[in-house]
């Protein structure tokens, strides 16, 4: 089995199944197709499947031309998990959110695995890419595969290889971002490394799936902790009437020992706001309290309230109340220049300000219509065009996500009040407030 699968990978005759066709799975499918593999894409959302098979993209940075090339390579998208039997390698790219108690929600991973397990066969590789706590592959996926009578490491192969996609980052692509991979057995690792080496420039093997799982958490907890530090420094600097962005720029001139991180209105995206809680939850099983990580989470979670406090204070200085004011939020996406709204602090800001009596609108060139979100209120809104008249009609403009496509000179010229949570405006002005 091992030799046959390695040969199929080497000569590109293997069929690759990508399960979950979102921000991780679809770019991965494109990359595998580029080097000549046949791809089957699986998703539980029939709308996504239909759009892809019609040649349309639902992710802004993936063009219709890219989807057309994917279809021309023989790509098929389906909701039928029975097609998993046709794949030689299955790669799981499904969400791993938190539940309402801020604990890991593995339902997508487990439900997907349970749906696939009936169609697994000897000679296949299964790779999990979803972010999760150490032990998930060994404790949750391995027993399910073994329940089919498959011997992992001999006639079936299981690896964990965390995704490292960074939507909107033009410097790095699926091909050029190094890929970490850990296997349940040495043979599993050999197959996983062979598969990913065929599409990724550098594959980094580690000793186990647990090491690979913890690697992913460390990467993002490192960012969460440092963002928490700079957010706390932002609050201190604000009290001292010091420009934190000036301080960061000055500190960043040190050529060693310092990496600049920047404050904001809160954490967003599918990793940084979520991953720390996967480790803190698992660490409790071992009697470890991850106080440092949890403290960073508390600081970051409090940032939307800090920003709203700045909005309230700025309006009060102009003898206005947030209650009854019209507030335009610039940017719905969790970071600039993308259309990804997962865990976006902008939505939290909108919800809380509306609860305080404000009339809320938004502008985002990447998100023309406010979408339905799983865990948030739905605003029946469309993106406001940034004309002089529209800008001037709001009591406050809040910069929540600093897309490059915004005309900041126009906004500065016509806004009554700007609260800038991203440090976009470097020069002080009477109607611009840093938050």
- Residues known to be catalytic: 271
How far, in Å, CA of 71 to CA of 26, rounded? Answer: 12
Backbone angles phi, psi at 156, to 5 degrees: -150, 150
Contact 370, 382 (CB under 8 A): yes
Structure tokens at 74: 């023989």
How far, in Å, CA of 306 to CA of 316, rounded? Answer: 15
Phi-psi region of 125 (alpha: psi -120 to 50; beta: other; left: phi over 0): beta
How far, in Å, CA of 187 to CA of 205, rounded? Answer: 12
Structure tokens at 153: 């490491």
183 forms beta bridges with: 159
SS3 sequence of the chain: CHHHHHHHHHCCCCEEEEECCCCCHHHHHHHHHHCCCEEEEECCCHHHHHHHHCCCCCCCCCCHHHHHHHHHCCCEEECCHHHHHHCCEEEECCCCCECCCCCECCHHHHHHHHHHHCCCCCCEEEEECCCCCCCHHHHHHHHHHHCCCCCECCCEEEEECCCCCCCCCCCCCCCCCCEEEEECCHHHHHHHHHHHHCCCCCEEEECCHHHHHHHHHHHHHHHHHHHHHHHHHHHHHHHCCCCHHHHHHHHCCCCCCCCCCCCCCCCCCCCCCCHHHHHHHHHHHCCCCCHHHHHHHHHHHCHHHHHHHHHHHHHHHCCCCCCCCEEEEECCCCCCCCCCCCCCHHHHHHHHHHHCCCEEEEECCCCCECCCCCCCCCCCCECCCCCHHHHHCCCEEEECCCCCCCCHHHHHHHCCCEEECCCCCCCCCCCEEEC
How far, in Å, CA of 435 to CA of 425, rounded? Answer: 11
């Amino acid at each position: 089995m091992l030799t046959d699968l390695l040969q199929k990978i080497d000569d590109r005759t293997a069929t690759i199944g990508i399960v979950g066709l979102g921000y991780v799975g679809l770019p991965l499918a494109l990359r595998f197709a580029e080097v000549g593999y046949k791809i089957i894409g699986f998703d539980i959302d029939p709308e996504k499947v239909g759009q892809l098979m019609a040649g349309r993209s639902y992710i802004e940075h993936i063009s219709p031309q890219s989807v057309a090339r994917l279809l021309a390579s023989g790509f098929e998208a389906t909701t039928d998990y029975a097609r998993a039997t046709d794949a030689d390698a299955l790669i799981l790219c499904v969400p791993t959110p938190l539940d309402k108690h801020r604990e890991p929600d593995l339902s997508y991973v487990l439900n997907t695995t349970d749906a696939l397990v009936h169609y697994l066969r000897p000679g296949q590789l299964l790779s999990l890419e979803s972010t999760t706590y150490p032990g998930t592959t060994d404790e949750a996926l391995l027993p399910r595969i073994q329940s089919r009578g498959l011997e992992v490491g001999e006639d079936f192969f299981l690896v964990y290889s965390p995704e490292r996609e960074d939507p909107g980052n033009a410097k790095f692509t699926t091909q050029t971002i190094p890929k970490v991979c850990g296997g349940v057995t040495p043979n599993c690792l050999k197959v996983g490394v062979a598969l990913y080496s065929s599409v990724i420039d550098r594959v980094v093997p580690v000793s186990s799936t647990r090491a690979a799982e913890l690697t992913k958490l460390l990467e993002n907890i490192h960012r969460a902790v440092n963002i928490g530090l700079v957010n706390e420094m932002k609050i201190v600097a604000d009290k001292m009437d010091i420009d934190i962005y000036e301080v960061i720029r000055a500190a960043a001139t040190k050529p060693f020992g310092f990496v600049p991180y920047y404050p904001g209105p809160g954490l967003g995206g599918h990793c940084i706001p979520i991953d720390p809680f996967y480790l803190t939850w698992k660490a409790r099983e071992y009697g470890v309290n991850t106080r440092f990580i949890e403290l960073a989470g508390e600081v970051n979670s409090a940032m939307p309230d800090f920003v709203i406090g700045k909005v309230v204070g700025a309006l009060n200085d102009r003898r206005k109340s947030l209650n009854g004011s019209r507030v335009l939020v610039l940017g719905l996406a969790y970071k600039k220049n993308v259309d990804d709204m997962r865990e976006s602090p902008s939505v939290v800001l909108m919800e809380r300000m509306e609860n305080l009596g404000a009339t809320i609108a938004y502008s985002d060139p990447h998100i023309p219509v406010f979408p339905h979100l799983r865990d948030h209120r739905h605003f029946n809104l469309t993106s406001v065009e940034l004309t002089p008249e529209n800008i001037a009609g709001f009591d406050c403009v809040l910069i929540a996500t600093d897309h490059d496509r915004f005309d900041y000179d126009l906004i500065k010229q016509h806004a009554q009040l700007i609260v800038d949570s991203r440090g976009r405006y470097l020069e002080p002005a009477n109607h611009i407030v840093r938050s």
